[in-house]
Homo-oligomer: A and B are copies of this chain.
Amino acid sequence: MPDFRHKLEAFENRYPGREYKIEIVAPEFTSVCPKTGQPDFGTVTISYIPKAKCIELKSLKLYLQSFRNEGIFYENVTNVILDDLAAVLDPQWLKIEAAFSARGGITETVTVQHVAAV
């Protein structure tokens, strides 16, 4: 699995005691199919409830761009993004939804959640 986690930067949440939701939509995600070498295109939607940290948007953009020439399956890239953001933010709740463009007339969307242990 590719490791771009170090590119993610967080900043301090000014309202740590309050439960609120942040949703980020990145419609220009692209990676490469490891089987055919053809580019894949998709929209990545990141939703989370922060604890102490929020994701810095510019570092997130650069992190997502790192997959541009990476060969990786839909299911795996979605889970990798979840793991990386969970590690960097330690959020109360986190959801990744990756909706990929049609290939062979078929589209696929992968959705995965992370919930902080109590």
Contacts and interface: CB of A to CB of B under 8 A. Distances in A.
A108 B75 contact: no
Decide if the interface of chain A is mainly helix, strand, loop or mixed.
strand
A59 B103 CA distance: 13
Given A41-B28, A111-B23, A104 B14 contact: no
A14 to B, nearest CB: 6
Given A15-B75, A39-B68, A79-B15, A104 B22 contact: no
Interface residues on A, range: 35 or more
Interface in A6-28: 13-15, 18-28
A113 interface: yes
Contact of A110 (B21, B27, B79, B111): B21
Nearest to A57: B106
A13 B75 contact: yes
A65 interface: yes
Nearest to A50: B75
